[in-house]
Amino acid sequence: MFELRLLVPEDSVEIVSDALDALDALSVSVEDADAQTDAEQALFGEPGMPPPKEGWQRSRVIALFSTEALAREAASVLSAQDFFEGCSVIGVVDVPEQDWVRLTQSQFAPVEITPEFWIVPTWHEPPAQARQVIRLDPGLAFGTGTHPTTRMCLRWTASRGDLAGQRVLDYGCGSGILAIGAAKFGARDIDAVDIDEAAVESTRLNADANGVRLNAGLPDAASGRYDVVLANILATPLKVLAPLLCGYVAQGGSLVLAGILERQADELKQAYAPYASLEVSDSEDGWILMTARL
């Protein structure tokens, strides 16, 4: 395989990518040409907020071809086009054959939540000391246990120790990892909801793979009151959702919120003050876990 690498200004990225598709590139990827430099630009915004910018000032566009001749031909065809003005060819690079499946798998090792509670991909054996295990492979939905926000929620569940018979809501379930974690600690009536259909499907599949029974669905599948409500989303939607989430918590039940940065603690406390008294109960890598008893 050979990569054709191009440097492309923001306005030309779409037309150049489309032209590479038409020239039979096997894949086309776009990266920030200024990544890891002072000129790097963040393009993501929190849910409900627009991204600060639609595209990077300069992108590295990388197209994969099966032969060097095809890659070089694509470079010369593109270079002759008017729309290529302002763009440049960085070069054609030989890509060594790799076992991509093995390479990807090697990046996902078992994740320790506590010494006895682990998240383990299916291509690994659980560690000998593991007493509770969630089997989970990386997929389309967020939640493999590698992010501090997920780990803190699972640590909270493990610290509870026994959720026997408790009703639990995982709001913003992603892969379903928190709902499955609750089931492993005894919860029995579990709803897992998300605005993303792919996350709902992923939750169902992961629950089945773990032998866990739960109800996965869109947010209106949540109903009634729960002993525990877990929501790992982000500060902005969590603030908007304050009355809804608190309304789901039974009297004496627990609310567990993640996806919050340390500097956002006060704004979350204020947003939840009419309904619950939030406290910071864990932190990792600049992220905090906020919890309340209602």
Ligand X SMILES: C[S@@+](CC[C@H](N)C(=O)[O-])C[C@H]1O[C@@H](n2cnc3c(N)ncnc32)[C@H](O)[C@@H]1O
Query: Residues in the site for ligand X, rule: CB under 6 A?
Result: 47, 141-143, 150, 153, 170-174, 177-178, 194-196, 199, 219, 232-233, 237, 259
Find the shortest distance in angstroms from Cβ 276 to ligand X: 18
Question: Of 221 and 250, which CB lies nearer to ligand X in the complex structure?
Answer: 221
Question: Of 12 and 232, which CB lies nearer to ligand X in the complex structure?
Answer: 232
211, two tokens: 């032998």
Find the shortest distance in angstroms from Cβ 257 to ligand X: 11
Report the phi/psi class of residue 212: left, alpha or beta, with left for phi > 0 and alpha for psi in -120 to 50: beta
Per DSSP, which regions of the chain are E strands?
2-9, 27-32, 58-65, 88-94, 111-114, 117-120, 132-135, 167-171, 189-193, 215-217, 226-232, 249-261, 279-284, 287-293
Question: Of 78 and 249, which CB lies nearer to ligand X in the complex structure?
Answer: 249
DSSP 136-182: ----SSS-SS-SHHHHHHHHHHHHH---TT-EEEEES-TTTHHHHHH
Find the shortest distance in angstroms from Cβ 207 to ligand X: 13
Find the shortest distance in angstroms from Cβ 232 to ligand X: 3
* 150 known member of a binding site: yes
Find the shortest distance in angstroms from Cβ 116 to ligand X: 20
Question: Of 28 and 242, which CB lies nearer to ligand X in the complex structure?
Answer: 242
* 170 known member of a binding site: no
Return the exposure string of 239-275: e unless at least 16 CB atoms fall within 10 Å of the residue's CB, then b.
bebbeebbebbeeebbbbbbbbeeebbeebbebbeeb
* 194 known member of a binding site: yes
Q: Is-contact 176 192, C-beta < 8 A?
A: yes
Question: Of 15 and 205, which CB lies nearer to ligand X in the complex structure?
Answer: 205
Distance CA 245, CA 247 (A): 5
* 208 known member of a binding site: no
Known binding residues? 150, 172, 194, 232
Known binding residues for S-adenosyl-L-methionine? 150, 172, 194, 232
